[in-house]
A and B are shown apart, each in its own frame.
Chain A
Amino acid sequence: MLKRAKALFLSLLSLVVSLPALGSAVVETSTRQLNMPQGVTEVSQAAYDIHMIMVWVCTVIGVGVFGFMFYVMYAHRKSRGAVAENFHENLVVELLWTIVPTIILIVMAFPATTALLKVYDTDNPDIEIKVTGYQWKWQYEYLGEGVKFMSELNTSLDEVYGREPKGEHYLREVTEPLVLPVGKKIRFLVTGNDVIHSWWVPDFGVKRDAVPGLFTSGWAKTDEPGIYVGECTELCGLGHAFMPVVVEVKEEAEYNEWLAGKKAEAAEYASTIGKQWSAEELMVRGEEVYERSCAACHQSNGEGIPGVFPALKDSPIALGPMVGHIAVLIDGVAGTSMQSFADQLSEVDIAAVVHYERNAWDNNVGDVTQPLDVLNYKQSK
């Protein structure tokens, strides 16, 4: 607490002493950051520059206007014997304070336009990445590379609800970050799967709404390797605060190595899909998947939230035929917030979670759902 107070005092002091210097000190988890980050791309730098221009223009006008106002409040108070005059218009002054602000605005429009043109300069990318917002995680697809994965919050609910101490990277950690190479122009094609999300990486200056049925695009090119953290910025339901964006920028060689690894992983996975899994293996994996992808709505105890998210415990679907249960996960339920998980979870994960839901919380159906069952359902459509 005392440490906090001290840091706070320092940050206030630094605000007074050196406002312009603040933006340059991009310390990732600093509590002292008061200004917009300068970031590591041309776009974020352009946003920062125009932001600072505006800050100074407003400061100068503010000091002038408020300074005059405080002078008036001091000099023309009745207690100092001021007697009111009776003038109430002056054409020259009134024209002046209409025309001068207009000119200031016209001048400011030039850098503002240049900066916006930079934001929109998304042509000729080296790499294209499709970013899809899901409730409440991000999916990254490297177009043309056959690599696709989900990126979800990796902070446990125990930390959120204070049952465990909060880690250093609380709400800023994900299962798998987006990995990018330095020095390449990357175009992000952003869309939404269910509701509107918004993909934001402050250090890239990229914030694009993820609207279902629409692609929006932004771009980034940076020479600075590092880990950059962002957020979802459009209210998207109860997990809105719990779907951070984490981007890891690597040197090109490391990036290529990583990409090759991801491709190999995908190939290896394809070969294990036919394997027979034991009930115990499925339960363990299923619980993991359930906690990550299902528990936010249906709750860890499977009882859901009455009136919003149905219970899975004793539900007719979980106790009914296996195909029907798989169908709900693959197809979603139209007109509700139950989305299709066909693109979000692998066949193995879907099999595991279906098995888990059918056999946890005294559901005790007793059957075993295999990845092949899921694959068969997918292919039967």
Chain B
Amino acid sequence: MAHGPATLADGWKAYISRWVFTTNHKDIGTLYLWFSFAMFILGGAFAMIIRAELFQPGMQLIKPEFFNQMTTMHGLVMVFGAIMPAFVGLANWMIPLMIGAPDMALPRMNNLSFWILPFAFAILTSTLFMEGGGPNFGWTFYAPLSTTYAPESVNFFIFAIHIMGASSIMGSINIIATVMNMRAPGMTYMKMPLFVWTWVITAFLLVAVMPVLAGAVTMMLMDINFGTSFFNAAGGGDPVLFQHVFWFFGHPEVYIIILPAFGVVSQIIPTFSRKPLFGYSSMVYATAAIAFLSFVVWAHHMFTVGMPIAGELYFMYATMLIAVPTGVKVFNWITTMYKGSLTFETPMLFSIAFVILFTFGGFTGLMLSIAAADMQYHDTYFVVAHFHYVMVAGAVFSGTAAIYYWLPKWCGKMYNETMGQVQFWVAFIGFNIAFMPQHFLGLAGMPRRYADYGLQFADWNMVSSVGAFIYGGAQIMLLINVILTIRNGKPVADEKVWEGAEGLEWTVATPAPYHTFEKPPEVK
């Protein structure tokens, strides 16, 4: 048996060294998860500032220039700091356990890919305190607002994006290498749990598009500092080029966020239905189809930019097609529940809410794909509502489900079920109060990223803000529940934890020992 991890009892120096120099996939997974939760709270705080300012018409709390920094930082921190690292953390913890590997294939790179992240976000957040303020051009940072017209801190923003990209690419390579090389004997590809499958496909997406994002910010850097004119019309460049490059990254990016969430839900629903996942192979094919389609639909974010009609039609048809594989997934989840033996513990509640709300977001997505109608929806709160239904009720709900689902395996203690269920209902109700009215606001004509609005939008904005605060409160409840579980939750001894759980991760002891599968298991 190898040496155990240092604890606080070994002195704080040893304890800190353990976390800084760790190459253990469980430690690194834990680091990713705590980091992403910290970023989630930070991004959430930005959102609270936004919703507080929008509580009433008029500028009450902050100035428009700070408002723009808040919308930008909220988006960047949530996408790159909260959701993506959360799923990388889950991947680190669970993929080796699920495929019967002792660790990730490249443990030192694993350490590096985590430890550069805090620096990236320290740099990004520090821009808020610089002269001229932080990034204020939206998380999509369209040129030339983000180049010629940007505050000087944009260079720090570009550097931070580069670091995040490097971290993501390293993390993805690690996942691909692990899954390709370290599966236990008998664990064929088509036996892998769906979470592993969705993550492999996600990793390929990341490796493909992160360099494109790096290219976009590098061109910005050149335009700002070295006199090039990639995006400057006056110098013969084209601002629309930026949007094509950005969305060629950006559209796969939203699937990068949602595919691992699909994976999590595909693990949880069978467990609490006590029935195997319906249509496993069609789930794998649907995931691959969604990943492929994500590369060929990017310009549906640009229907109003003045593309020729042939381009509009192509991107409209291609985008509508995404509904097919996504629909297959939803049908599969529901059919998994059909004729099962259902119980509704907290992870299951979050997963069912995921299916319902994500499907709702899918419906609005389908509406947005219709170019003629998108001329009205584009850049309004309808879009804001749409992507919060798929990003928050999608990715964040499934991430929360994952935490409740695997927490007993991680720390060997059971969370408080009542508190978990209360947290679910607060989150579910708060979320819908916050974002459902934004559909109405958008349809009635309120554009997104508005620091202030006309009196006709006052009521729904007030409702939305109240919902946002409720939803924010639910996250604090999650944090408290997790801390209480780790400190004094009821110990769990059962390896399976959940009655209906299947898979290799439930064959190791609870809590999962520091080193697992030093001898590979046999998979029949």
Contact = CB atoms under 8 A, between A and B. Distances in A.
Contacts of A2: none
Interface stretch (B4-12, B86-94, B311-319, B422-430): B311-319
Contacts of B323: 101, 105
Interface in A58-81: 58, 61-62, 65-66, 68-69, 72-73, 76-79
Contact of B65 (A118, A170, A305): A305
Contact of A160 (B58, B330, B456, B458): B58
Given A54-B367, A79-B343, A198-B304, 5 more contacts: A29-B455, A47-B375, A51-B367, A209-B304, A337-B149
A8 interface: yes
Interface residues of A, number: 111
Nearest to B240: A211
A242 B151 CA distance: 20
11 contacts: A50-B373, A76-B273, A98-B328, A101-B324, A101-B327, A194-B149, A209-B305, A236-B145, A237-B149, A238-B65, A239-B64
B145 A88 contact: no
Majority SS at the chain A contact face: mixed
B181 interface: no
A31 B58 contact: no
B131 A307 contact: yes
B234 to A, nearest CB: 7
Interface in B247-304: 273-282, 304
Given A116-B371, A240-B68, A89 B278 contact: yes
Contacts of A161: 58-59
B456 A30 contact: yes
A206 B372 CA distance: 10
A72 B338 contact: yes
A58 B330 CA distance: 14
A89 B280 contact: yes
A238 B373 CA distance: 28
Interface in A217-247: 217, 229-242, 244
A198 B238 contact: no
A88 B142 CA distance: 46
A76 B339 contact: yes
A86 B149 contact: no
Contacts of B459: 4, 7-8, 11, 31
Given A78-B341, A160-B452, A240-B451, A65 B240 contact: no
Interface string A137-177: 00000000000000000000001111000101111100000
A363 interface: no
B197 interface: no
Interface stretch (B32-40, B133-141, B200-208): B133-141
Interface in A110-151: 112-113, 115-120, 135
Contact of B340 (A82, A112, A118): A82
Given A94-B279, A97-B331, A231 B367 contact: no
Interface string A13-24: 000000000000
A154 B189 CA distance: 64
A239 B459 CA distance: 23
Contact of A88 (B65, B240, B280, B456): B280
Contact of B372 (A55, A58, A116): A116
Nearest to B500: A84
A44 to B, nearest CB: 8
A323 interface: no
8 tightest A-B contacts by CB?
Answer: A213-B233, A307-B131, A216-B306, A307-B132, A115-B372, A58-B363, A233-B379, A241-B450
B60 interface: yes
